[in-house]
């Protein structure tokens, strides 16, 4: 009994001693500290919401404080919105009597959705400030966002409220056909460099029409969107060599999130689909990134030219070609979940001075995959009449970066001349006898490091220490590299002429 009484007294003493007497707060005196004095929200397109950005607010005093008001300087008219420690306040704009405990901090999360008309017409910046308190205790944190104007292309709304559809692979998908005489946009089949374009859904090229992209055009695809080049339709990408790191003359296909966080995230949009029977495609100086399938060719049965083109960070394939005729020069592909380049179900292919790399994590992806069959197709096999790789680099992070899927029921013709290949596993498979099979392999550099400048950042330049330096055959030379630099003799392998890397 005595023990119980002692425990009871001890419990009461402990309860009283642990009770705080300072639940009351004092008004903030203007001594708040902030994780940054300006929050820069990355560039956004007009009326497309930004990512969420964080600001931390610190109370370094020994007293619990109350901040009488936290608000945007523009008040309820601000195009910014925020939450303060999870609270929504008045429409995410105004918060009153915000408590911040001693030696503690609170989180503010900020977003914006603004129109180009909201921005300063001189620099297209939209700005505001978060105000903490007022009068003599006023403290402010600046907010800055660059608003970019654009041409928006999207499916129309049907009278019943559904979206316009086009048919791809036998299915109705959100999409629309581009018009030469659109009442708002004019000729939608001509993409200029005057403004960026943002595409929602699949933009379709009508039969017997040509879509053209001028040098410097910027095309941004929303999630689940893409480009569909239909039967008897054509695509022309007329990019040119750029002279600065801004790639001012390159045609660029990417997602519509401009924040740096999204610059290298795969799968932000779907694909450029070239339907069976589409024709006369010409691609020069295209940079495509962050799709599911980059360029998806489906037996156009007409010659295709791809030059000076880069494809990066695709969930499945960088370039997928099914029974196609492709001539490729100065192509660079990196990071694809299945294969950077996959030429399946036969066809006719010739590649010179290309860099096919695959740094996708995992051991199964390939840099190059060749096949003369397709499961479920009728017939199941098609002849691969030619697959020639001259002065190329085929490399990556996996053990083997080349896959030859040969079906004996159809022709399978392939040849690698003066190429650097990564294939580390020894094998008795007759398809991979790189040193003794002179019919298919000539002057192969096997498993040596090309020493790319920075493959993780898609920089595949080489210098004179590379195993690819001066190992090319003059007979296969493309006179200028992907940057327009004149190649020397003997030429380097891959898409880049060697340069000294910056120190």
Angle at 179 between CA 176 and CA 183, to 5 degrees: 105
CB-facing half-sphere around the CA of 486: CA atoms within 13 A: 2
Assign a CATH topology to domain 26-148.
Immunoglobulin-like (2.60.40)
Which residues neighbour 45 within 8 Å (Cβ) at sequence distance 6 or greater? Answer: 147, 148, 149, 150, 196, 198, 220, 256, 258
Residues 328/349, Cβ–Cβ less than 8 Å = yes
Residues 120/126, Cβ–Cβ less than 8 Å = yes
Distances (CA, A) of 4 to 1, 12, 13, 14, 18: 5, 12, 14, 15, 21
- What's the pLDDT at 19? 42
Residues 397/425, Cβ–Cβ less than 8 Å = no
Say which DSSP state 492 is in.
P
Which residues neighbour 35 within 8 Å (Cβ) at sequence distance 6 or greater? Answer: 54, 55, 56, 57, 58
pLDDT along the chain (503 residues), means of 10: 44 43 73 92 87 93 92 95 93 93 94 91 90 92 92 88 91 96 95 95 97 97 96 97 93 93 94 95 98 94 94 98 97 98 97 97 89 94 97 96 96 98 91 95 97 96 97 98 96 96 73
Q: How many CB atoms lie within 10 A of CB 329?
A: 21
Give the integer Cα–Cα distance in Å for 41 and 144.
6
- What's the pLDDT at 430? 93
- What's the pLDDT at 11? 47
């Amino acid at each position: 009994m005595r023990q119980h009484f002692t425990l009871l007294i001890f419990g009461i003493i402990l309860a009283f001693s642990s009770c705080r007497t300072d639940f009351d707060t004092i008004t903030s005196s203007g001594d708040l500290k902030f994780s940054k004095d300006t929050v820069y929200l990355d560039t956004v397109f007009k009326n497309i919401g930004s990512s969420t950005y964080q600001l931390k607010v610190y109370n370094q005093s020994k007293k619990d404080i109350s901040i009488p008001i936290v608000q945007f300087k523009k008040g309820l008219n601000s195009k910014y919105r925020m939450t303060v420690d999870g609270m929504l306040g008045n429409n995410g704009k105004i918060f009153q009597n915000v408590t911040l405990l001693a030696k503690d901090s609170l989180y503010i999360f900020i977003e914006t959705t603004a129109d180009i008309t909201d921005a300063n017409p001189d620099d297209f910046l939209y700005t505001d400030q978060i105000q903490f308190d007022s009068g003599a205790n006023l403290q402010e944190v600046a907010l800055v966002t660059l608003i970019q104007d654009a041409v928006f292309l999207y499916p129309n709304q049907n009278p019943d409220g559904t979206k316009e559809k086009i048919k791809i692979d036998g299915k109705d998908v959100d999409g629309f056909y581009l018009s030469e005489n659109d009442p708002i946009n004019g000729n939608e089949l001509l993409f200029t460099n005057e403004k960026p374009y943002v595409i929602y859904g699949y933009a379709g090229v009508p039969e017997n029409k040509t879509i053209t992209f001028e040098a410097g055009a910027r095309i941004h695809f929303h999630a689940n969107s893409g480009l569909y080049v239909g039967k008897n339709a054509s695509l022309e990408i007329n990019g040119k060599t750029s002279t600065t790191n801004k790639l001012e003359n390159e045609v660029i296909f990417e997602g519509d999130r401009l924040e740096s966080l999204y610059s290298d995230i795969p799968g932000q949009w779907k694909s450029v689909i070239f339907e069976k029977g589409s024709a006369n495609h010409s691609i020069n100086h295209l940079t495509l990134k962050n799709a599911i399938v980059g360029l998806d060719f489906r037996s156009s049965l007409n010659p295709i030219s791809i030059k000076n083109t880069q494809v990066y960070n695709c969930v499945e394939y960088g370039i997928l070609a099914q029974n196609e005729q492709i001539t490729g020069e100065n192509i660079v592909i990196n990071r694809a979940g299945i294969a950077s380049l996959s030429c399946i179900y036969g066809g006719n292919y010739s590649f010179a001075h290309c860099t096919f790399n695959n740094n996708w994590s995992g051991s199964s992806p390939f840099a190059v995959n060749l096949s003369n069959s397709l499961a479920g197709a009728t017939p199941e096999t098609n002849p691969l009449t030619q697959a020639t790789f001259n002065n190329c680099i085929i490399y990556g992070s996996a053990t083997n970066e080349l896959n030859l899927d040969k079906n004996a029921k159809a022709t399978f013709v392939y040849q690698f001349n003066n190429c650097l290949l990564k294939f580390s596993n020894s094998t008795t498979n007759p398809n991979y006898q790189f040193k003794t099979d002179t019919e298919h392999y000539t002057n192969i550099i096997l498993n040596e490091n090309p020493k790319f400048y920075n493959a993780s950042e898609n920089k595949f330049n080489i210098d004179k220490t590379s195993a690819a330096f001066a190992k090319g055959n003059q007979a296969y030379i493309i006179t200028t590299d992907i940057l327009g630099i004149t190649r020397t003799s003997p030429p380097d392998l891959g898409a880049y002429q060697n340069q000294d890397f910056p120190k």
